[in-house]
Amino acid sequence: MTRTASTNPRFSVLLSAASAHVAKDDAGTINEPPSASFGSLSLPWQALAASLDSETSAALVDYVHGRRKLTKDVANRIADCVMRWALKHGATHYAHWFHPLTQIPAEKHDAFLARGIQASHVPMEQLPGSLLLQNEPDASSFPSGGLRSTHEARGYTAWDPTSPLFIRADGGCRTLCIPAAYVSWKGHALDFKTPLLRALDALSREVSAFVNTVTSSNACTSVTATLGCEQEYFVIDKGFAALRPDIAATGRTLLGAPSHRGQQLEDHYFGQIPSRVLAFISDVERELFRLGVPVKTRHNEVAPAQFETAPVFEEINVACDHNTLTMDVLRRVAERHGLACLLHEKPFAGINGSGKHNNWSLATNHGENLLDPGAAPHDNLRFLAILAAVMHAMNTHNDVIRSSIASSGNEHRLGANEAPPAIMSIYLGSALDVVVQGIAEGTVRSVEQLGELEITAKLAVKRELTDRNRTTPFAFTGNKFEFRAVGSSASCAWPMTLLNAAMADSCKALRARIEKKAGSRDKAVLEVVREVFKETRRVCFEGNNYAHEWREEAARRGLSNHTTTPAALAVMADRAKMGFLAELNILTGDEIHARHEVFLEKYVKEIEIEATCLLELSAGYVAPAAQAQIERTGAALAGVRQAGLHSKNLTEELEALLARYGALAEATADLQRVRASVGHDAHGMADKLRAAMATVRREADALEALVADDLWPLPKYREMLLCGV
């Protein structure tokens, strides 16, 4: 049947979105300060310890710091306290919350309900210490990369007490979630958290030793990595998302003509947040506050319908868990508001995509920020040594760090105008770069202190030492580094695992070099710093990372530019480059190989899903709409010369689409035949399928401009991005 304005579901969604609830005023809003409810549904180990008797509390503190195991009796007392807290807040079930090598966390719910030990078997609530400490979810259906056979189903989750317990409220149900590591029966890491925890142990050990070597003291007993994750995302009306099979299946649009108005006016960034979206974000923040997630910032991003939220810095393990929670809350709360939250790196072509800037720093057990240069960085030997270690890590493990952000979604974003390229380099800023170059050349150049920038006679702003570079993947931003290349849908845990591992390895290597030097400690440290600044000059770049000249220069410097996921992941098969992970007891060779297999397989499956979805869209949506337009035009304007021309254009476009459809169908069939040998054919598959998908999209988008609006079945870019939010 020919679609009309009254039957096209797009128009119903447009009307619904236009009349969607928005806040009329602030009379009914909740003006409670965040601190009033902050952490009410979260139980960090410090609060848990404070609620226990002194003996049990001391045992928990020792357990958290790895000084002793918990006895059965102590574990039972801790678990009982946890259960009573959860019951008080309405929880009926508990679940170990863990992060298998998939996009989303996993959880298996068990009721607190148990049968009493009395003869009457009176029902009661119970959480034994053994079930708090570990559980046994079925491991057979999670990605493992060959670490265990399908029939080997046993896996263990182990409570991670350093990350707060929390209560997830969803659909009227409340569940106690127990953050956990996840390993196989043989002890292999099957998740993102386990390697991260191991990397943080290695980081603390090696950086502490390095700091003590540099400062000639034993004052530093531990080092903690801190992280703040800026989360970007898109919000569209839920009805539009429901009418787009590509968004449902892949998280992004596989076709769609550009909107007449996109981001070219540059008026969305930091603009007033639309009322409907602000109501949604406020609900998100309230839920995150209760969960103990310290969200701080909200604003419009560059693209229409794109937004960002960012938290205060936290210890890195907690920050990674909280970012995963943030993504979960964004999705769930959006549903309640009749919206869809899109976390894909590139949901819409032609406008900015979304990233997750990872702001990373290091703190000693005394609370000192090791990346704070102070007022005179040229004279701050400890800072210069830590900076040298960071530069050594980026230089030595450049390809490894690039592999940490490799995904099919991030391929669409890296190198575009909103994200750094695939070349991993460091931006120090002009002031610090002068210091580094001077030391490398054997001179000391002080940093010029910048005064206030006078705007008027009454207005002035304090200038930072250096400007910011939005095109670089790894930028020094005053007292931290901002890893800007991480994709918006990714888990922070994997890139942070490899970054912290690289830093631990570099501190270990530089400490050994310092200890081999003759002379005073300061002289030895400065000599190694000078050497490293010279050796790592190739990874420093202060200019425009988007420029073609930089790609040429980077190639001359020997820096890789892996623009596809298979190429970036290839380093994981290089034992020489990945061996430091085993040396630091972070991942064994088998665990590294397994991750390589899992990530490649995931990439191939995602491309296959996109290709098969695009085939359905082309044959089931676009082609019928074009055919209906041809029939309508021919019937309405029969005999008119212009009608013949218009029909001819449509017919040619439709024929071109069907020809491209055939090529894509053939390439997809080829992939499905060889998917068993994914590692062997990944590069060829990526190039062939991506190229075929691009040609299908071009023809489909051309047809969208020629087909009458009431005949086009899919929500258009202008509707999704500009209407209803």
Give me the CATH number covering residue 651: 1.20.120.1560
The residue to which tokens 């095109």 are assigned: 471
Instruction: Give the Cβ contact number of residue 438 at 10 Å.
Output: 16
Model confidence at 442: pLDDT above 70: yes
Which of the listed residues 508, 524, 547 is the one where a domain comes to its end? Answer: 547
Cα-based distances in Å from 611 to 192, 405, 565, 696, 704? 28, 23, 17, 10, 19
Residues 375 and 327 occupy one common structural domain:
no
Question: Can you tell me the mean pLDDT for 296-302?
Answer: 93
Kindly state whether residues 510 and 475 are assigned to the same domain. yes
Please report whether residue 17 resides in a domain: no
Residues 289 and 203 in one domain: no
* 501 in any annotated domain: yes
Query: Are 675 and 715 in a shared domain?
Result: yes
As a whole number of angstroms, the distance between CA 694 and CA 296 comes to 39
Region of poorest pLDDT, from 175-179, 300-304, 318-322: 300-304
Question: What CA dihedral angle connects 235, 239, 244 and 248, to 10 degrees?
Answer: 70
Measured between alpha carbons, how far is 608 from 444 in angstroms, rounded to an integer? 56
What pLDDT, on the 0 to 100 scale, is given for residue 4?
47
Candidates 105, 79, 43, 209; CA nearest to 492 is: 105
Q: Answer for the pair 482, 474: CB distance below 8 angstroms, yes or no.
A: yes
Quick one: average pLDDT of 503-507? 98
CATH number at residue 164: 3.10.20.70
> Is residue 537 over pLDDT 80?
yes
Q: Which amino acid is at 438?
A: G
253 alpha carbon, distance to own chain's centre: 20
- The rounded mean pLDDT for the chain is 90
SS3 content of the chain, % helix, strand, coil (to 5): 50, 15, 35
Domain boundary among 334, 360, 386: 360
Provide the pairing of β-strand 165-170 with 155-159: unpaired
Query: 653 CB contacts (<8 Å, ≥6 apart)?
Result: 626, 699, 702, 703, 706
HEC assignment per residue over 136-165: CCECCCCCCCCCCCCCCCEEEEEECCCCCE
Cα torsion through 153, 158, 164, 169, rounded to 10: 30
Does residue 308 form part of some domain? yes
The whole-model pTM stands at 0.93
Tell me the mean pLDDT in the region 49-78.
96
455 and 310 in a common domain? no
CA distances from 523 to 214, 377, 381, 401 (A): 10, 17, 10, 31
**Residue 165 and residue 204 share a domain:** no
Range of the domain at 123: 32-189
**DSSP assignments along 219-281, one per residue:** ----EEEEEEEEEEEEEEEHHHHHT-HHHHHHSS-S--PPPSSSSTT---TT-PPPHHHHHHH
Looking at 339, 360, 381, the residue that finishes a domain is 360
350 against 5, higher pLDDT: 350
Q: What is the pLDDT of residue 218?
A: 80
Q: Considering only 227-241, 365-379, 382-396, which range has the smallest mean pLDDT?
A: 365-379
Q: Are 522 and 380 in contact (CB under 8 A)?
A: no
pLDDT score, position 116: 62
Distance CA 590, CA 597 (A): 11
Instruction: Give the integer Cα–Cα distance in Å for 403 and 382.
Output: 30
Domain contains 570: no
Tell me if 118 is assigned to some domain. Answer: yes
Question: Quick check: is 596 in a domain?
Answer: no
State whether residue 699 is helix, strand or coil.
helix
The neighbouring-strand residues paired with 227 are: 314, 360
What is the percent of the chain with per-residue pLDDT over 90, rounded to a whole number? 71
Whether 63 and 206 map to the same domain: the answer is: no
Q: pLDDT value at position 570?
A: 94
In a domain, 16, yes or no: no
Same domain membership, residue 142 and residue 202: no
584 within domain boundaries: no
Dist. CA 228–CA 306, nearest whole Å: 20
Find the Cα–Cα–Cα–Cα dihedral 617, 623, 625, 628, rounded to 10°.
-160
Are 695 and 628 in the same domain?
yes
pLDDT tens for each residue of 20-62: 765 555 444 567 888 899 999 999 999 999 999 999 999 999 9
Which CATH number goes with the domain that contains 311?
3.30.590.10
Residues 380, 521 within the same domain: yes
What is the C-alpha separation between 309 and 307, in angstroms, rounded?
Answer: 7
Instruction: Give residue-wise pLDDT tens across range 571-608.
Output: 999 999 999 999 999 999 999 999 999 999 899 889 99
Q: How many CB atoms lie within 10 A of CB 250?
A: 21
Is the domain of 196 the same as that of 327? no
359/475 Cα distance (integer angstroms):
9
Residues 680 and 712 grouped into a single domain? yes
How many structural domains compose the chain?
A: 4
